[in-house]
Structure 1
């Protein structure tokens, strides 16, 4: 595996965005999976989640996300990531003994990235795009934001790089994580065996994650596994019918509106009169945070 990394760097260069390379390469399989899903639901007479204008929006958002991620990697992310690599404490070999622990490390980092993307507004400004769809099918997985690199998704994986896992390995395994997640954005698969539901982020578990029902909000952050949700108290089982979307729903199919509406709203809140700390709190507080407004008649 280490020889493969050396060959990849020598052939393609050190700063290749391997996550997007894998995702773009998997796109034909994604489309085949979606076609199979559509056929299954059509035969069941359950095509209510296939709203074609929404599907085209998802594909547009996915394409713009991939292009912007590639550009951001070339401009600054790649250099930043390899700065962390140069500061690493160790160099961890990639072999049959280390691959599973590294995968678990990537899953752990993803859990906290995903959790912060819901509970810290700065990160939510990017992730909200993914949750703004009101229909669930596999193309919903492509509903991604151009802002992810700017808000700093990659920072959550730098602890692994500092420990000595090569960035190519981290991002390829993260891409595999995302590939798995594509296929759990569906209503074509019901609940699986209880053991699988207990260990993995299944279609059922992920449908609950996308619900704006009060019981489902900010739950089930896992990527491939659901064990960290169980460990940290963020797991919920899918019980009632899932209502997809966000609380403050954006009724638009304009990619620019979907990409930037929450980002601009956050900065409008920051710009409102108040102390510096009151203003800046909008960056790290949860998305639902509202500044306490004091009337001029209220005592100081």
Structure 2
């Protein structure tokens, strides 16, 4: 019979890689900031950088609490099933691949469903694209843990999942840069590169809702959401905020959703607004156009 695992054991057995890597990532972002200033590349805007840094630091501090809730749910599912997958190098790689597949769909639905977009928009509402953009992780994105339940249900060990999840998040850091042009073709066919992810962050018409891959770009090739970089990206979102307030950057879509729901007129319409595509969301409901 499978031995039950406690949350304390998972947390103590799996190092917090993101917490350890944070000073290195901040240092590299500062180095890129300095290089941008020195070479007049205009990759950074000071207020935008401080907004990204603030959002990222709060996310890390918040994670000290929410991590227990998130992985507690994953652990509960794992302990609820009677089967488990043995831990070895092969199953660890397999867990990472399955996790990346789940991340693809979590990311894709994060662009296609209002309440999930509210948890993700923070990552997109900067008109700059640099290493600090990777710090823009919404303080409400833990909702997406629902997409990772299948990993525990399949029987992958929670410690393996915890480590794979952190590696996947850390991989995202280096692809947020304009300083790396193209990677070798064989690498770009399999893995997400800065070129691929610049497309994802672009609001160019042909770039919208493309390249959702986290580590592997093969999911986009398989499911028809791949788009190569053919022109310079215009960064930001369609309804781009014109401020640098980190709290508003995190919650502005949530505010729009609940305002729309309040004016919906019926529970059915309100629920539909919650799960409808972001394109259906009325901005500043109640305001009349001049």
Q: TM-score scaled to structure 1, two decimals?
A: 0.86
Tell whether 2:134 aligns with 1:141: yes
Q: How does 1:1-300 map to 2 (within 5 A)?
A: 13-14=8-9, 16=11, 21-38=16-33, 40-41=35-36, 45-74=39-68, 76-149=69-142, 152-290=143-281
How far residue 168 of structure 1 moved from its aligned partner, in angstroms, is: 2.2
1:31-58 deviation per Cα after TM superposition (whole angstroms, max 9, x unaligned): 3332443455456x34312111111111
RMSD over aligned CA atoms reads: 2.2
Q: What are the superposed Cα offsets for residues 63-92 of structure 1, whole Å, 9 maximum, x if unpaired?
A: 111222222234x33432222121135211
Maintained 8 Å contact 1:205/1:237 = yes
Contact 1:119 1:286 in 2 (8 A): yes
How many residues align? The count is 278
| Structure 1 unaligned regions, length at least 5 | 1-5, 292-300
Alpha-carbon distance change, 78 to 95 in structure 1, aligned in 2, over 3 angstroms:
closer
| TM-score between the two structures when normalised by the length of structure 2 | 0.89
Q: 1:286 to 1:273 in 2, by over 3 A?
A: closer
1:125–1:227 distance in 2 versus 1, CA, 3 Å:
same
> CA, structure 1 residues 270+17, in 2 after alignment: closer, same or farther (shift >3 Å)?
farther
Find the aligned partners of 1:131 and 1:271 in 2 and give their Cα distance. Answer: 26
Change (3 A) 1:275 1:59: same
Deviates more, 1:267-276 or 1:215-224: 267-276
Alpha-carbon distance change, 261 to 140 in structure 1, aligned in 2, over 3 angstroms = same
User: Given that residues 212 and 220 in structure 2 are in contact (C-alpha distance below 8 angstroms), is that contact kept between their aligned partners in structure 1?
Assistant: yes
